[in-house]
Amino acid sequence: MADDKPTLFSPYKMGKLNLSHRVVLAPMTRCRALNGIPNEALVEYYTQRTTTAGFLITEGTMISPTSAGFPHVPGIFNQQQIEGWKKVVDGVHKQGGLIFCQLWHVGRASHQVYQPGGGAPISSTKKPISNKWKILMPDATYSSYPQPRPLATHEIPDVVQDYRLAAINAIQAGFDGVEIHGAHGYLLDQFMKDGINDRTDEYGGSLENRCKFLLQVVQAVAAAIGADRVGVRISPAINHLDAMDSDPCSLGLAVIERLNKLQLCYLHVTQPRYTAYGQTESGSHGSEEEVARLMKAWRGAYVGTFICSGGYTRELGIEAVAQGDADLVAYGRLFISNPDLVLRLKLNAPLNRYVRATFYTHHPVVGYTDYPSLHKTYERLSRL
């Protein structure tokens, strides 16, 4: 009898979207959108990584002028940016791919140099990120994170509206949907994690209050573009940028309980094997067994498509799908250096090694679109 178990390379139906395999391009900041506008380099980068009916998620994309924390990251809050993204989306669609835009606000993980008028970054708190972490500056040096400004309660609906408008703009640009970035110590995570959120208003204290901002954003975006076009990314057990929580399992379950009611396109969870920006390990809570227990608890609780990411190899990805621990597996760094990663994983072909030094540089080609595909490698070898 044939084995009907799904594999990393078997088709999958994600809501209304029919995928030909389960390998996903994970969102990754690459700093190539000069002055915040997607350009031809981004068109080339994303189309290189597109497969027929394959699923891609863009790098974190600014929802407003206050949301940047890196140089030259793309936005989706003005018409010029929308027009730039249209070219990227068109390129992906012409190759038969499907692409979501990741909506991103870094919150306190910013600096006055990235803020309009040199203002303080916004957050749930006035506590700055510790000196364990450094921010990449426009001149390629690293600096300490400054003290943020806690959002006043009455300002929060304005930020919710920024997410809503960004989602509408993404659909105008042709995206198949959006992913709301609620992970990795950025703005929404700064409200969810009790190691950061020290508020005494309706957005602080209890689990319910700390989940409120994320839920308001998700509800507003889903109402604007349709819940079936919305995914959410969370990382309850990752302490990147000091985003610690005293009970990550309960936090994840609380978020999932609320998201289940909305019938979204998917939930994307980064597990603690993830390493943030090569600066430091982001901190596992306990052993591999504990990590597996957390991921299984969240996977079991979520009703819908479950995407996992965070340091997955070919073997770990195959295992995750085969064991039912995830429906889809998102790959990051391996996709940077292997534009044809899906083919390489399928063939178990050798992988190009990535060059970390060019992850966040601004050259439109070097370390971005110049990694060879298998057929180019074979063409080169055949000439020798």
- Active-site residues, by number, are 186
**CA-to-CA dists, residue 179 to 243, 245, 264, 340, angstroms:** 20, 23, 10, 23
Residues 66-94: b if buried by 16+ CB within 10 A, e if exposed: bbbbbbbbbbbbeeebbebbbbbbebbbe
Measured over the CA atoms of residue 352, residue 358, residue 360 and residue 364, the dihedral's sign is negative
The span from the CA of 183 to the CA of 257, in Å, is 17
Element (H, E) at 214: helix 207-225
Contact 58, 102 (CB under 8 A): yes
Report the number of secondary-structure helices (H) and strands (E) in the chain.
11, 16
For the chain, state the CA radius of gyration.
Answer: 20
- The distance from CA 145 to its chain's CA centroid, rounded to whole angstroms, is 21
d(CA 54, CA 228): 17
Question: Which SS3 state, helix, strand or coil, does residue 172 take?
Answer: helix
Q: Of how many residues is the chain composed? A: 384
Give the Cα separation of 173 and 87 in Å (integer).
8
**Local structure of residue 356 (DSSP, 8 states):** G
* DSSP string for 25-75: EPP-----SGGG---HHHHHHHHHT--TT-EEEEEEEESSTT---STT--B
DSSP state at residue 15: T
